[in-house]
């Protein structure tokens, strides 16, 4: 008997029909199981957790049968309370299913401390953008008798002299003492 003839025999067609029914039944069972185990059609609206403490956010999520995870944050927003939620994923108003994990980013207790770079000996034009790009602010400028004009001679913060490598909080104000270009040996200070 050839293969082509076998495809049209009663035994093969019967087996093919049984396999088709079994496959159809398996697909229906799998779809029914998936529908019941994945909570198909269930919607829980994610609450707005902005500005809430971690304890309050946890309580609010537990009421809705949602879980949470805290993401590490180096962000600090002075407009939010310390250790409060500043960001959440998924966002408030989105719909999720029961037991979904909500990722929370918390506000730090303050700005991070940064190492002051070495800008001594550089011009004001080089030093100021370097410090500003790191998050520092430039404060008062004083001039001292020195041969080079606008060369950074000293840096200070709140009246205390600081050196390269010292740790200051981001957004700290750094004052400069710059050379006046006159080149005299006597140090004199005058505000500009």
DSSP secondary structure letters along 16-76: HHHHHHHHHHHHHHHHHHHHHHTTTT--EEPPP-TT-BHHHHHHHHHHTT-EEEEEP----
Domain boundary pick from 106, 128, 159: 106
Question: Does residue 68 lie in a domain region?
Answer: yes
Question: In the prediction, which pLDDT does 1 show?
Answer: 66
Question: In the prediction, which pLDDT does 184 show?
Answer: 62
CATH number at residue 76: 3.30.10.20
pLDDT tens digits along 110-133: 788 899 999 999 999 999 999 999
Q: Which residues form the domain of 62?
A: 44-106
Q: Specify whether 100 is located in the same domain as 130.
A: no
pLDDT of residue 76 exceeding 80, the answer is yes
Average of pLDDT values for 54-77?
88
Domain boundary pick from 73, 106, 139: 106
pTM, two decimal places: 0.57
Q: Specify whether 48 is located in the same domain as 96.
A: yes
pLDDT tens digits along 5-52: 888 889 889 999 999 999 999 999 998 888 877 777 778 999 999 999
Question: Does residue 18 lie in a domain region?
Answer: no
Question: Does residue 16 lie in a domain region?
Answer: no
Number of domains in the chain: 2
pLDDT tens digits along 96-108: 988 899 999 988 8
* Nearest-angstrom CA–CA distance, 91 and 192: 50
Q: Specify whether 92 is located in the same domain as 71.
A: yes
């Amino acid at each position: 008997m050839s293969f082509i003839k076998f495809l049209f025999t009663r035994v093969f067609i019967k087996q093919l029909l049984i396999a088709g029914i079994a496959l159809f039944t398996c697909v229906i069972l799998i779809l029914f199981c998936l529908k019941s185990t994945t909570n198909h059609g269930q919607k829980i609206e994610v609450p707005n957790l902005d500005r809430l403490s971690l304890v309050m956010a946890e309580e609010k999520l537990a009421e809705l049968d949602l879980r949470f995870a805290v993401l590490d944050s180096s962000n600090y927003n002075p407009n939010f309370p310390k250790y409060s939620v500043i960001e959440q994923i998924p966002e408030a108003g989105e719909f999720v299913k029961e037991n979904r994990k909500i990722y929370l980013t918390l506000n730090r207790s303050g700005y991070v401390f940064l190492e002051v770079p070495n800008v001594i000996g550089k011009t004001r034009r080089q030093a100021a953008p370097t410090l500003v790009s790191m998050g520092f602010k430039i404060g008062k400028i004083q001039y001292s008798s020195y041969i080079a004009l606008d060369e950074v001679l000293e840096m200070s913060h709140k009246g205390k002299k600081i050196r390269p490598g010292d740790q200051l909080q981001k957004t700290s104000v750094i004052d400069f003492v710059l050379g006046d270009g006159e080149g005299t040996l006597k140090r004199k200070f005058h505000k500009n």
